Amino acid sequence: MSNVPEMFGCRVFNDDIMRARLPKEIYKAFRKTREDGKPLDQTVANSVANAMKNWAIEHGATHFTHWFQPMTGITAGKHDSFVTPVDPCKVIMEFSGKELIKGEPDASSFPSGGLRATFEARGYTAWDPTSNAFLKDGSLCIPTTFCSFGGEALDKKTPLLRSMDLLDRQALRILRLFGDTETTHVTTTVGAEQEYFLIDKALYEQRKDLLYTGRTLFGAKPPKGQELEDHYFGVIKPRVSAYMKDLDEELWKLGILSKTKHNEAAPAQHELAPLFTSSNIATDHNQLTMEVMKQVASRHGLACLLHEKPFAGVNGSGKHNNWSMSTNNGVNLLEPGESPRKNAQFLLFLVAIIRAVDQNQDLLRIAAASTGNDHRLGASEAPPAIISIFLGDELTDILQSMLDGVKYESPDKTYMEVGLDYLPRFKKDTTDRNRTSPFAFTGNKFEFRMLGSSASIAGANCILNTVIADVLCEFADELEQAEDFRPALRSLLRRTIQKHQRIIFNGNNYSDEWVQEAQSRGLLNLQSSADAVPYYLCEKNIRLLTRHGVFSESEVYSRYEITLENYTKQIHIEALTMADMVKKDILPAVVSYMKDLSTTACQKKQLSDRISCYVEETLLTRLSALSSELYKQTEQLEQHVAKATQIEGVGIEAIGRYYRDVVFAQMEATRVIADEIESLVGESYWPYPTYGKLLFSVK
Ligand code: ADP
Ligand code: MG
């Protein structure tokens, strides 16, 4: 299919298809449910289910699945067939409203963080009518939420939907204060830019570390890395270009508008940016994008790596979460306005975000916490682990002038009053050249740049929506009571800027000075996930997350437990993989090389005493010493891992710190030696493709 408009969304049961296929009344009732979250009655559900089934069968589907997002961070679904027997030799294809609305998959193999008692293994999936059903691999996939028997969220979508609903309600209260009586809904919007690596699949399959852990645990630096910066935005190679074309088409069919693509900073690294949409759909789309990226790569003899740090010494991959709020009339609430009134409203939202971010640095850091992402944050390639906000000079100056009660000097040297009635008209500043900020205002949206490339964006957006909605609620509470709105607003803005200006930083976030400066400003610097995740349970956070019903207390606890558990499990698997690689592959390779060296040296000596054996002897001496050392370090690593499984009763936080301080540190020590050995051993002896091959072989 080459016609893009025809191809776009052809696997999606979208609004147009629904309007065309559903009786008018049913379609209207469905739209009401979608827009206002009204419960769907059984006849409507039956009618929608029937239309969905017919459409799916016409497109070759035989099965349906409730597609959900458990706390593993990837998607899941149990595939049931439409086939229903009517008598011993006849079947019909059936799908009822009941099956559309609710499913009961076995939940026992999904992480629950203590939410699901083992005697109650059932989980429930419930249709999310705000996200379209779609066709994938012969199944009709129905986006659903996933919860336990007791109604607790076992997934990432449920809290995200709750947070969107919360923000909708609180933002509307603010709009009403500014005299907006027309807007009926505010939706959070997201565009998630996705970074990834593409390498040759045959080479990928030769590396146990990539297969088991998604990243290379060993690998000496190649002679060329990313020093020349010749890859960034460079010419896309033919094999990669064919992949990207195919990927775009597959995504378009699923209604995902992949818009731009380019090479990233590291060799073999690329990026895809979609058009933004509502947070919920953007999350579903990002999950699908990651799945499709891998599938299409496989068809092209490539492997798509979504790990945050597949290669040491080379930039890792992240995800930029572009975030804003939009009214049902399509007005972006973070777009600076044309009139002072609009600008005052814009400033209120902006200042609310500043307060929310400063007050909840810990929660935002947690939202980016994972074993993989720990390699990036603070490594001069991604923002540091310190949260701050980039506003750009002009906005920062305007806030400062408001605070000081002085005139604002604009870039063209004119002076303007700054009062709510005299706000300067400022242009949307699209010249954001500060790529080092973790949370940057980019003209009409914020870009949260800390997320890891493999993460689901659901968690981060749920936190963003909740912390911002909480401040909007607080602001609305105060302003709704005010006798005189304008002075009350001015006082609120001033007070808030005064209190939270420490979070604004327009400088280089990668510099050492910033780490010092941030410390003196009292900002948090939570270096690893093991440091960050325990903050989930601070009283402030539990209160905030439960206050508006986004999470229950046990749901917060379950997220805390699962995140820490994943963190330690991943390091555990990495450590075992390392030990396996050393003993089964690396040491045998070195020994075999040393054997050839010593055989050659002996043969030379037999021929004549005067033939130099300098190379053989030097290498043998060095490699003997290094391989003994590697063996010892590996034994040590295995002992540390064994001990970790014995330390019970110390609590999950202590185990997390143990894995970071002891096991992970030991992995680093082991790797250094293996990498040095690699640089000395003949390439034909080495059991794994080198960094050079992995990074530069796709043409
Ligand atoms: P930049 O060049 O600053 O990265 P782009 O306009 O190319 O900006 O957008 C980058 C990403 O931000 C895209 O995925 C885009 O869809 C998303 N984006 C743009 N506007 C919004 C918005 N209002 N809300 C959420 N995401 C947005
Ligand atoms: Mg960007």
Q: Note the pLDDT tens digit of each residue in 283-323.
A: 999 999 999 999 999 999 999 999 999 999 999 999 999 99
Query: For residues 567 and 73, what is the distance between their CA atoms, to the nearest angstrom?
Result: 13
Give the ligand at the shortest distance from the Cα of 272: 1
Contact at 8 Å (CB) between 437 and 388? yes
User: Measuring from atom 25 of ligand 1, which residue has the nearest CA?
Assistant: 190
- Judged against a pLDDT cut of 80, whether residue 116 lies above it is answered with no
Give the ligand at the shortest distance from the Cα of 332: 1
Please, which pLDDT band fits residue 640 given cuts at 50, 70 and 90? Answer: very high
- At 18 the pLDDT is 94
Give the ligand at the shortest distance from the Cα of 449: 2
Q: For the structural domain made of 567-696, what CATH number should be given? A: 1.20.120.1560
Contact at 8 Å (CB) between 508 and 514? yes
DSSP state of 124: E
Q: What percent of the chain has pLDDT over 70?
A: 94
- Judged against a pLDDT cut of 90, whether residue 223 lies above it is answered with no
**Ligand 1 centre distance from Cα of residue 346 (Å):** 18
**Ligand 2 centre distance from Cα of residue 447 (Å):** 7
**Ligand 2 centre distance from Cα of residue 117 (Å):** 43
Q: Side chain identity at 233, as an amino acid letter?
A: F
Q: Which atom of ligand 1 is nearest to the CA of 326?
A: 23
Judged by average pLDDT, the poorest of 216-230, 572-586, 619-633 is 216-230
The stretch 409-414 carries a mean pLDDT of: 70
DSSP string, 630-683: HHHHHHHHHHHHHHHHH--SS-HHHHHHHIIIIIIHHHHHHHHHHHHHHHHS-T
Q: Which atom of ligand 1 is nearest to the CA of 320?
A: 11
Query: For residues 296 and 246, what is the distance between their CA atoms, to the nearest angstrom?
Result: 7
The stretch 391-414 carries a mean pLDDT of: 82
Strand partners, 84: 92
Mutate to test the pocket of ligand 1, among 276, 279, 431, 435 (most ligand atoms within 8 A of CB): 276
| Dihedral sign, Cα of residue 568, residue 573, residue 575, residue 576 | positive
**Ligand 2 centre distance from Cα of residue 231 (Å):** 18
- Degrees (nearest 5) of the Cα angle 267, 276, 241? 35
Please, which pLDDT band fits residue 115 given cuts at 50, 70 and 90? Answer: confident
Token pair, residue 67, equals 């597609």
Token pair, residue 631, equals 């063996």
Nearest to 535 by CA among 648, 369, 673, 698: 369
Contact at 8 Å (CB) between 546 and 552? yes
- At 536 the pLDDT is 96
- At 446 the pLDDT is 96
- Judged against a pLDDT cut of 60, whether residue 677 lies above it is answered with yes
CA 492 to chain CA centroid, Å, is: 34
Between 36 and 422, where is the model more confident? Answer: 36
Other beta carbons less than 10 A from residue 609's beta carbon:
8
- At 397 the pLDDT is 87
Mutate to test the pocket of ligand 1, among 331, 445, 451 (most ligand atoms within 8 A of CB): 445
**Ligand 1 centre distance from Cα of residue 548 (Å):** 29
Please, which pLDDT band fits residue 394 given cuts at 50, 70 and 90? Answer: confident
User: Measuring from atom 3 of ligand 1, which residue has the nearest CA?
Assistant: 442
Q: Which atom of ligand 1 is nearest to the CA of 430?
A: 3
- Degrees (nearest 5) of the Cα angle 160, 165, 166? 95
Give the ligand at the shortest distance from the Cα of 326: 1
Give the ligand at the shortest distance from the Cα of 437: 2
| The most confident of 29-38, 332-341, 486-495, by mean pLDDT | 486-495
**What are φ and ψ of residue 165, in 5° steps?**
-65, -40
**What are φ and ψ of residue 32, in 5° steps?**
-65, -45
Nearest to 98 by CA among 63, 35, 50: 50
Please, which pLDDT band fits residue 233 given cuts at 50, 70 and 90? Answer: low
Please, which pLDDT band fits residue 586 given cuts at 50, 70 and 90? Answer: very high
**Ligand 2 centre distance from Cα of residue 359 (Å):** 25
Q: Which atom of ligand 1 is nearest to the CA of 335?
A: 23
Residues of 63-85 as b/e, b for ≥16 C-beta within 10 angstroms? Answer: bbbbbbbbbebebbbeeeebeee
**Ligand 1 centre distance from Cα of residue 189 (Å):** 10
Between 407 and 427, where is the model more confident? Answer: 407
CA 693 to chain CA centroid, Å, is: 28
Q: Which atom of ligand 1 is nearest to the CA of 273?
A: 14
DSSP string, 495-537: HHHHHHGGGB--S-TTSHHHHHHHHHTT-----SHHHHGGGGG
Query: For residues 7 and 427, what is the distance between their CA atoms, to the nearest angstrom?
Result: 38
Q: What percent of the chain has pLDDT over 90?
A: 74
- At 687 the pLDDT is 97
Please, which pLDDT band fits residue 216 given cuts at 50, 70 and 90? Answer: very high
| Dihedral sign, Cα of residue 172, residue 176, residue 179, residue 181 | positive
Pairing verdict, β 102-103 and 90-93 = unpaired
User: Measuring from atom 14 of ligand 1, which residue has the nearest CA?
Assistant: 191
User: Measuring from atom 19 of ligand 1, which residue has the nearest CA?
Assistant: 276
**Ligand 2 centre distance from Cα of residue 320 (Å):** 6
Length of the chain measured in residues: 699
- At 231 the pLDDT is 63
pTM more than 0.85:
yes
**Ligand 1 centre distance from Cα of residue 273 (Å):** 8
- At 219 the pLDDT is 97
- Degrees (nearest 5) of the Cα angle 133, 135, 139? 105
Inter-axis angle of helices 458-481 and 340-359, nearest 10:
120
User: Measuring from atom 17 of ligand 1, which residue has the nearest CA?
Assistant: 191
Q: Which atom of ligand 1 is nearest to the CA of 190?
A: 25
Q: Note the pLDDT tens digit of each residue in 57-113.
A: 999 999 999 999 998 888 998 888 998 888 888 888 889 999 998 998 877 778 887
**Ligand 1 centre distance from Cα of residue 594 (Å):** 56
- Judged against a pLDDT cut of 90, whether residue 409 lies above it is answered with no
The stretch 412-438 carries a mean pLDDT of: 67
Between 452 and 84, where is the model more confident? Answer: 452
Mutate to test the pocket of ligand 1, among 189, 322, 447 (most ligand atoms within 8 A of CB): 322
Please, which pLDDT band fits residue 120 given cuts at 50, 70 and 90? Answer: low
Query: For residues 326 and 653, what is the distance between their CA atoms, to the nearest angstrom?
Result: 39
Give the ligand at the shortest distance from the Cα of 276: 1
Q: What is the CA radius of gyration of the chain?
A: 28
Torsion of CA 147, 153, 159, 165, to 10 degrees: 60
- The domain locations on the chain are 4-154, 156-192+320-410+437-547, 194-317, 567-696
DSSP state of 420: G
Q: Domain 194-317 - what CATH class?
A: alpha beta
User: Measuring from atom 8 of ligand 1, which residue has the nearest CA?
Assistant: 442
**Ligand 2 centre distance from Cα of residue 332 (Å):** 18
Token pair, residue 326, equals 């939009």
| Dihedral sign, Cα of residue 237, residue 240, residue 241, residue 242 | positive
- At 262 the pLDDT is 77
**Ligand 2 centre distance from Cα of residue 433 (Å):** 10
**Ligand 2 centre distance from Cα of residue 281 (Å):** 19
Q: Note the pLDDT tens digit of each residue in 239-286.
A: 999 999 999 999 999 999 887 677 777 889 999 999 999 999 999 999
Nearest to 274 by CA among 320, 243, 317, 236: 320
Other beta carbons less than 10 A from residue 402's beta carbon:
21
Average pLDDT score over the chain: 91
**What are φ and ψ of residue 200, in 5° steps?**
-70, 135
**Ligand 1 centre distance from Cα of residue 323 (Å):** 8
Q: Note the pLDDT tens digit of each residue in 594-634.
A: 999 999 999 999 999 899 999 999 999 999 999 999 999 99
Query: Hey, is 142 helix, strand or coil?
Result: strand
Ligand 2 (single-atom ion) residues, CB below 5 Å: 320
User: Measuring from atom 23 of ligand 1, which residue has the nearest CA?
Assistant: 324
Please report where in the chains the tokens 């989930």 appear, as a residue.
536
Token pair, residue 219, equals 């690998």
Please, which pLDDT band fits residue 529 given cuts at 50, 70 and 90? Answer: very high
Q: Which atom of ligand 1 is nearest to the CA of 322?
A: 26
Query: For residues 409 and 418, what is the distance between their CA atoms, to the nearest angstrom?
Result: 10
Judged by average pLDDT, the poorest of 42-46, 174-178, 284-288, 323-327 is 42-46
Q: Which atom of ligand 1 is nearest to the CA of 442?
A: 3
Q: Which residues have any ligand 1 atom within 6 Å of their CB?
A: 189-191, 193, 273-276, 322-324, 332, 442, 444-445
Nearest to 573 by CA among 203, 108, 217: 217
CATH architecture assigned to 4-154 = Roll (3.10)
Q: Which atom of ligand 1 is nearest to the CA of 275?
A: 16
- At 264 the pLDDT is 74
Please, which pLDDT band fits residue 41 given cuts at 50, 70 and 90? Answer: confident
The stretch 122-142 carries a mean pLDDT of: 93
3-state helix/strand/coil string of 247-309: HHHHHHHCCCCEEEEEECCCCCEEEEEECCEEHHHHHHHHHHHHHHHHHHHHHCCEEEECCCC
- Judged against a pLDDT cut of 90, whether residue 423 lies above it is answered with no
- Degrees (nearest 5) of the Cα angle 20, 188, 67? 55
Q: Which atom of ligand 1 is nearest to the CA of 323?
A: 25
